[in-house]
Amino acid sequence: MGPRLRVAALLRWHGRILLCRQEKPGKEYWLLPGGGAEAGESLLAGLRRELEEEIGLAGELVFEGPIAIAESMPPQWTPQDRHVVHVIFATDLSHRSLEDVEPHDAVVRGTRLFALDDLDDIVVHPPIKRFLQRWQPGDPAVYLGSLWAR
């Protein structure tokens, strides 16, 4: 089985970033909202569908990007391990209210807006904190390489 393709959005709101909290046994981490793109679906269509399904974010959104591509896979990969390619887009939501943004997906345990300095205190998957803290609208796309959050 090949890599899983995940589309995600860097959602900015007045200088903050919206992240989704997820839990696994003994672990809590935060990630950009998004999910798997389906066969026959464009990346942006998949992203829009995932944002509506996962956090209730609907409406016409204009995205920049992809702004980054990252891989998550263990260094000693085996067929039982996951290999995920993250394609990341961005948009600024500062022009709208976020009252209607709340988790709809059973996997998402909550959403929160983080100031860029607050990212140092949490686990982000894939581990792209420095990229999130430095990226500015209009920056060129970047490949972040192979990443693995332990």
Tens digit of each residue's pLDDT (9 = 90 or more) over 33-45? 999 999 999 999 9
H or E segment at 47? helix 43-55
Residue 104 is predicted with a pLDDT of: 59
Q: Is the pLDDT of residue 76 over 90?
A: no
Q: Is the pLDDT of residue 55 over 70?
A: yes
The phi and psi torsions of 144 (rounded to 5 degrees) equal -90, -5
Q: Region 78-101: what's the mean pLDDT?
A: 86
Q: Region 113-125: what's the mean pLDDT?
A: 92
**4-147 maps to CATH 3.50.50.60:** no
Residue 74 is predicted with a pLDDT of: 74
> Which residues contact residue 10 at a Cβ distance below 8 angstroms, ignoring those fewer than 6 apart?
17, 32, 67, 88, 89, 90, 91, 132, 135
Higher pLDDT, 58 or 103: 58
Task: Determine the Cα angle at 142 with ends 140 and 143, to 5°.
Answer: 165
Q: Is the pLDDT of residue 106 over 70?
A: no
In angstroms, the CA 63 to CA 125 distance is 21
Instruction: Report residue 149's pLDDT band, with 50, 70 and 90 as the boundaries.
Output: very low
Instruction: Report residue 110's pLDDT band, with 50, 70 and 90 as the boundaries.
Output: confident
Residue 145 is predicted with a pLDDT of: 74
- pTM of the prediction? 0.87
Q: Is the pLDDT of residue 96 over 70?
A: yes
Q: Region 90-99: what's the mean pLDDT?
A: 88
Q: From the CB of residue 75, how many other CB atoms can be counted at a distance below 10 Å?
A: 7
Instruction: Report residue 103's pLDDT band, with 50, 70 and 90 as the boundaries.
Output: low
**Helix, strand or coil, per DSSP, at residue 43:** helix
